[in-house]
Structures are given as structure tokens and as C-alpha cells.
């Protein structure tokens, strides 16, 4: 296990302290006792009146969660200030033929090395936190993506708990299999995985939700950096109303990242492609020009 992955697991555990401050809901229930604030400004559709996300746009996202800087850039500082930085970064990816849609990828379910009261090794963001980032995303003319690091819980159960937010027209979903482990494993001590069947269960539920509520299409992002992180990947189904994105994760040198990208995107089938960069952990951060030179050119770019 890379030392940084262990550091992240420890940092996520420290986020348990945020429960005392009302930032996270760690009781394993539905968060009914979470601190509430005013409802986020109403949004009738996608930013800028867009009808679709991919492939008409390139999505540029900041990833993270409040409570610890090691969880990613999105959680560092005031969300509105982060939105300004995000837009500056996103503008660097605009091309004559491809407009950019900014995004905030908030870790809505944070894996932890400690089991918690229900033994699931995860903490859930309080509604107040999700609302704060949704409000900031709308002010930044961006979409919000809710990322799930489920620990020992199931992706589908955690996605269903986020239903009230996924009913919003500008909120999408991401699955982080690295942090999905078996009942005898601990996040951060092993690299997790997800089966095609588990992804298909989530995508079927989310596609039905979009149809039932008459919502614009949503992203469903799956992060991957090892070959077996998505088991039986060819059996992952496409769904109406969803843009399925395979996001090549992992940090390192540009050469290492290009190799991972080539390996992960080989035989990608129906997936749109994403690419993840790390401001701190990457050795020699690739520039937007470097990223746009990748083949296939990624339609989703995520910064942690």
C-alpha cells in the first residue's frame, strides 16, 4: 500500500472529529439529527441552460471534502472561494469545439479505518455540508458530483440515502471502488473493488430516478487505477439518461500516469473517459495541454 493511501485513511478517520462539529453524520442512520440550513437556491436544469453533459462538454472538477486538507482541494477553504479557483482552472480546458462544464466532486461518504457504530467503516456527510457545496456549485455555475467511498457498506444503499440530492437536476454521482472492501477488510489496508453487478444495480436505480423525475442526464463516474478494481468490466451496462465515465485514477510521474491511462482505457467499450490529477502527490503535475494531448482525449478531468 502506498504511504499516501495510508495517510488518506488516517485523515479520513480524523474526520470523525467533525461529527462533534456537526459536519458529518457518523451514526449509520439517515442523518435526521444533522444540522440544517436554508435550502440551496433552486436550479431548474444544468448550468447555463445546457440540455446534456457529455460529449457536448468537457467536465473539469475539483475533488475533496471538508475536515482535512488531505482529502482534496475541494475541502480546502471556503467553498465559494474554491468555486472561483475551479472556474479559473476550468477555463484552461476550453477549446474552440468543446465548452467546459465545471464540477465540484464532494466526497459524500468518506471511508474510515475505524469501524464506526455500525461496523461499516464510513462516515456520511451531514445534509448541511452537502447543501453548502450545492449552493457553492450553483454560484460557480457548476454541477455537484457526490462521491461514495462506502467502506464495508454497499454502493446502492449509500446512493439511495443520497436520493434527495440526486433528485436535483445538477447533481451527479461517482463511485470510488478503491474504498469498497469486504466485511473482513479495512479501507486503507487493502485496495478495494466493485463488481459489474454492483455498478449495474446503482446505474439501474439512478437511471430510473432520472426518468421518474424528468431530470436532465447525469454522470455516473467510476474511479479505477488497477486492472481488477472493476471486476468483469465488460459486463457493466449502459443506461438511458446516464453518461457512464471511467475515470483513470492514481498519482505519480507523467510517464506513470500515461501508462495507467493507456492500460485503464484499453477496451473501454461504451465508457466516456476521465483522468485524475493530484496537486500534491503527482510528481510534475501535467498541464492542461498535456492532458488534452492524451489519447483518447478525456472528457472528464478531476483534480484532487
What CA–CA distance (Å, rounded) separates 199 from 26?
A: 25
Number of domains in the chain: 1
Nearest-Å Rg of the Cα atoms of the chain is: 18
CB distance 128 to 22 below 8 Å = yes
Strand residues in 154-267 grouped as ranges (E): 171-175, 194-195, 218-224, 230-231, 242-248
What CA–CA distance (Å, rounded) separates 147 from 264?
A: 20
Q: Which of 259, 303, 257 lies closest to 283 in space, CA to CA?
A: 257
- Reported residue count of the chain is 304
| CA distances, 146 to each of 96, 117, 173, 187, 261 (Å) | 29, 23, 5, 19, 23
**What pTM, to 2 d.p., does this model score?**
0.88
The verdict on residue 35 lying in a domain is no
Q: How far is CA 196 from the centre of its chain?
A: 18
The verdict on residue 221 lying in a domain is yes
* Strand 122-125 versus strand 100-111 pairing type: antiparallel
Q: How far is CA 95 from the centre of its chain?
A: 24
The verdict on residue 196 lying in a domain is yes
Q: How many CA atoms lie within 13 A of 35 on its CB side?
A: 12
The verdict on residue 168 lying in a domain is yes
What pLDDT tens digit does each residue of the chain (304 aa) get?
A: 444 444 444 444 444 444 333 445 544 443 333 333 445 667 679 999 999 999 999 999 999 999 888 899 999 999 999 999 999 999 999 999 999 999 999 999 999 999 999 999 999 999 999 999 999 999 999 999 999 999 999 999 999 999 999 999 999 999 999 999 999 999 999 999 999 999 999 999 999 999 999 999 999 999 999 999 999 999 999 999 999 999 999 999 999 999 999 999 998 889 999 999 999 999 999 999 999 999 999 999 999 9
Range of the domain at 180: 3-24+47-303
User: Quick one: residue 121, left, alpha or beta (phi over 0 = left, psi -120 to 50 = alpha)?
Assistant: left
The verdict on residue 39 lying in a domain is no
The verdict on residue 80 lying in a domain is yes
The verdict on residue 256 lying in a domain is yes
What CA–CA distance (Å, rounded) separates 80 from 90?
A: 15
The verdict on residue 187 lying in a domain is yes
What CA–CA distance (Å, rounded) separates 256 from 243?
A: 27
Query: Which CATH number does the domain housing residue 129 bear?
Result: 3.20.20
Helix axes 127-139, 79-91, angle to 10 degrees: 40
Q: How many CB atoms lie within 10 A of CB 136?
A: 23
Q: How many CB atoms lie within 10 A of CB 84?
A: 13
Amino acid at each position: 500500500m502506498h504511504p499516501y493511501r495510508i495517510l488518506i485513511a488516517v485523515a479520513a478517520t480524523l474526520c470523525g472529529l467533525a461529527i462533534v462539529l456537526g459536519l458529518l453524520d457518523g451514526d449509520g442512520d439517515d442523518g435526521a439529527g444533522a444540522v440544517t440550513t436554508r435550502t440551496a437556491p433552486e436550479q431548474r436544469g444544468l448550468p447555463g441552460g445546457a440540455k446534456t453533459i457529455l460529449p457536448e462538454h468537457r467536465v473539469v472538477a475539483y475533488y475533496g471534502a471538508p475536515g482535512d486538507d488531505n482529502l482534496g482541494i475541494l475541502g480546502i477553504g471556503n467553498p465559494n472561494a474554491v468555486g472561483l479557483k475551479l472556474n479559473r482552472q476550468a477555463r484552461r480546458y476550453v477549446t474552440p469545439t468543446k465548452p467546459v462544464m465545471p464540477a465540484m466532486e464532494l466526497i459524500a461518504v468518506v471511508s474510515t479505518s475505524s469501524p464506526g457504530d455500525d461496523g461499516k467503516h464510513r462516515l456520511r456527510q451531514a445534509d448541511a455540508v452537502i447543501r453548502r457545496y450545492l449552493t457553492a456549485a450553483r454560484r460557480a455555475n457548476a454541477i455537484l458530483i457526490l462521491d461514495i467511498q462506502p467502506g464495508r457498506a454497499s454502493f446502492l444503499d449509500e446512493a439511495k440515502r443520497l436520493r434527495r440530492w440526486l433528485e436535483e437536476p445538477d447533481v451527479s454521482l461517482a463511485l470510488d471502488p478503491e474504498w469498497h472492501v469486504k466485511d473482513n477488510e479495512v479501507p486503507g489496508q487493502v485496495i478495494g473493488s466493485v463488481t459489474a453487478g454492483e455498478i449495474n444495480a446503482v446505474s439501474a436505480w439512478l437511471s430510473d430516478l432520472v426518468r421518474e423525475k424528468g431530470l436532465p442526464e447525469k454522470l455516473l463516474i467510476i474511479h479505477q487505477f488497477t486492472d481488477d478494481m472493476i471486476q468483469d468490466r465488460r459486463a457493466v451496462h449502459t443506461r438511458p439518461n446516464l453518461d457512464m465515465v471511467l475515470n483513470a485514477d492514481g498519482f505519480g510521474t507523467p510517464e506513470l500516469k500515461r501508462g495507467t491511462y493507456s492500460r485503464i482505457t484499453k477496451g473501454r467499450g461504451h465508457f466516456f473517459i476521465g483522468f485524475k490529477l493530484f496537486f500534491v502527490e503527482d510528481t510534475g503535475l501535467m498541464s492542461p495541454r498535456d492532458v488534452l494531448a492524451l489519447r483518447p482525449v478525456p472528457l472528464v478531468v478531476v483534480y484532487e
